[in-house]
Amino acid sequence: MSNTVVITSGKGGVGKTTVTANLGYALARRGVNTLLIDGDVGLNNLDVALGMENRGAYDMADVMAGKCRVSQAILQVPGFPLYIMPSAHAVYSEQIKAGDFRALIARLGASFDYILIDCPAGIEGGFHRAVSASEYAVVVTTPHLSAVRDADKVVALLSGYDLKGVSLIVNRVRGDLLARGETLDPKQISRLLRYPLLGVIPEDDAAAKAGVQAEESSSRTAFEMTAGNMLTGEGRLYDPALRYRGFLGAIRSRLKKNA
């Protein structure tokens, strides 16, 4: 049986798709057989984030309509045990029923170690469909007050589901602001929302290029730590402020402020 995790958020645009793609890569780099599912029916975001757009002939709706076998709607990211099932492009979100989606996920569970579901924005039908098919939920927020406030609403909604665990990823944390105390600290956010931190991801342009992050980048390191936490529960967190602390760090921080 695989672990099924929905990646969700209160506010749109906080990084759900980016987190799903990068976390998927980080798990796959460790040899974990991972399937990413685009729960955003009607929009194809996840395949774009992975550089896998328009590769497949079939999608989730075709599987559900019995037009193809499940395996025909799953694409492999070359060179990794990482797979993606593109969202249904040609149907309206309401046409995919929660029960059918749950049954599909249960069926796929036998073939993968982890299934990550990129939850659609908002808390309407698509949210229910994705969450009710999952065992665990990860809530993504940024340190912005409006995002944290919306994350709080989602956390309250999630308590109505039968989940084995809920945890948080604070994304787009700016180390310079954190070092100067000018942004909410991820640990503070975790205390406010009363759920544990699974990961802290820095603001980093490289995060947008999940698939082509050949070189080291701060976000890649952070996603690797987050994947480690998922697998072992060890709780190591990336500290975006580290390079802005101490004497040299203060200079870096000042340079950044004046830039």
Ligand X SMILES: Nc1ncnc2c1ncn2[C@@H]1O[C@H](COP(=O)(O)OP(=O)(O)O)[C@@H](O)[C@H]1O
Contacts to Mg ion by CB under 5 A: 16-17, 45
Q: Which is nearer to ligand X, 11 or 82 (CB)?
A: 11
Distance, CA of 160 to CA of 138 (rounded, Å): 15
Cα 120-124-125 angle, rounded to 5 deg = 85
The yes or no reply on residue 44 touching ligand X (CB under 6 A) is no
Residue 87 interface partner, choices Mg ion, ligand X, none, CB cut-off 5-8 Å depending on type? none
Please, what is the minimum distance in Å from the beta carbon of residue 65 to ligand X?
A: 26
Please, what is the minimum distance in Å from the beta carbon of residue 68 to ligand X?
A: 27
Q: Which is nearer to ligand X, 68 or 206 (CB)?
A: 206
Q: How many residues bind ligand X (CB under 6 A)?
A: 18
The yes or no reply on residue 17 touching ligand X (CB under 6 A) is yes
The yes or no reply on residue 203 touching ligand X (CB under 6 A) is yes
Please, what is the minimum distance in Å from the beta carbon of residue 52 to Mg ion?
A: 15
Please, what is the minimum distance in Å from the beta carbon of residue 50 to ligand X?
A: 12
The yes or no reply on residue 208 touching ligand X (CB under 6 A) is yes
Q: Which helix (H) or strand (E) is 85 found in, with range?
A: strand 82-85
Torsion sign over Cα 55, 213, 109, 14: negative
Q: Burial of 11 by CB count in 10 Å (0-12 exposed, 13-18 middle, 19+ buried)?
A: buried
Distance, CA of 201 to CA of 243 (rounded, Å): 14
Distance, CA of 118 to CA of 40 (rounded, Å): 7
Q: Burial of 164 by CB count in 10 Å (0-12 exposed, 13-18 middle, 19+ buried)?
A: exposed
Distance, CA of 108 to CA of 71 (rounded, Å): 10
Please, what is the minimum distance in Å from the beta carbon of residue 89 to ligand X?
A: 17
Please identify which residue in 2, 219, 226, 229 interacts with ligand X, judged by CB under 6 A. 219
Per CB under 6 A, residues contacting ligand X are 9, 12-18, 121, 171-172, 201, 203-205, 207-208, 219
